[in-house]
Amino acid sequence: MINHYLDIAPEVMDALKKGQPVVALESTIISHGMPYPQNAETALRVEQQVRAGGAVPATAAIIGGRLKAGLSPKEIDYLGEMGAKIAKASRRDLPALLARGQDGATTVASTMIIARLAGIAVFATGGIGGVHRGAAQTMDISADLQELARTNVAVVCAGAKSILDLELTLEYLETHGVPVLGYQTDEFPAFYSRHSGLPVDFQVEETDEIARMMKAKWSLGLEGGLIVANPIPEAFAMHSESINIAISRAIAEAEAKGVKGKNLTPFLLAKIEALTEGKSLESNIQLVLNNAGLAARLAADFAGLGSKVGPPVEKRG
């Protein structure tokens, strides 16, 4: 398959052709996650964590109307310095950004799309989007969930962002046949916290078993992703009661100010950071680093099975 909109970094392309492990990474955390230069520095730390685990990082983005699977340090710094001036790009935004030659920071959904086009099977992020609180009235449901239902990528995350309705998020995933695997846990993690009180579908102790599940799922033609729910390390987890108080206050302020749609999650995360005096941001960084290391090991195990989700997509000259 040839796609004229996709650029795969040479290091990433070389690894894919050789059947070596590659881990996709998102870029919303760079442009919309924290201030510059901390955002760019964190992105490079996450890439280094992937390398330390024996895989090649492929940070995704849209730059100049091109889908990117793998960024240079200069490109990462550009996304960080531009910050929120870079559009937050989900599935619906890709046609406009590509046609107009614009830039975009990729969400979980759009990163999954780029990973699938490039032939990358494993993606590490912080937390997936999901069903927002009050969705019965607002119908605010993240496009991440639909992407997980249709796109063959395993997503390593610390559960769903705890600003969401976690119970409804899991119900939605179950309806669409997305397996939720708990890495060494039987409980769905709640992003900043290790505990939600909600069960995962299957507890899995080792990454090689997850890799075999990936292969079995896609070999059967069961389209869609898998969630590998990896709890935040205990040392960086926040107390459930304190973080829930901050979340409730942030949600109330968002409602009072009429913040909605794609602006809601960045607003809530920034407000929670302020309310927790920066503790939530440090937890966010640490859980992403933790997920990157696990994703690298999973990618290595999946590559060891000789499995692929599709060939690398080469650009026609």
Catalytic residues: 26, 161
Instruction: Give the largest Cα separation in the chain, rounded.
Output: 56
- Distance CA(303)–CA(270), nearest Å, equals 37
Residue 245: how many other CB atoms lie within 10 Å: 13
Residue 92: both structure tokens together? 């619906």
Burial class (CB in 10 A: 0-12, 13-18, 19+), 136: exposed
Which of left, alpha, beta for 69 (phi over 0: left; psi -120 to 50: alpha)? beta
